[in-house]
Amino acid sequence: MLMLRMLAWPVLLALTLAATTDFSSADDRTFGGYECTDDCSGHKAGYEWAERKGIKSSSDCPLGNSNSFYEGCLAYTEDPYRGSDADDDGEDID
């Protein structure tokens, strides 16, 4: 019985830590609320394209090979004043 109690504490501690630990990467980036796959450059390109084209409606955003480009276009229709130079945390997009 004592051995079982000695084993229970480390297991309980490990489960508690796992339940309260945020395993998301510090590198997770978002653009206009959409998750970036890497550096948000696809989102930036879609946003800038929509801005140049004067896209007003999300239905005018092109569905194509790049989901991030599409999401960047959507971000523009949702907030045309946010700009495309930074992600949602203010980090520059090259």
For the entire predicted model, the pTM comes to 0.72
Helix (H, G, I), strand (E, B) or coil at 13: helix
* pLDDT one digit per residue (tens) for the chain, 94 residues: 555 455 555 654 455 555 544 444 446 999 999 999 889 999 999 999 999 999 999 999 999 889 999 999 999 999 999 999 999 999 999 8
| Distance in angstroms (rounded) separating the CA atoms of residues 85 and 73 | 14
77 in Cβ contact with 58 (< 8 Å): yes
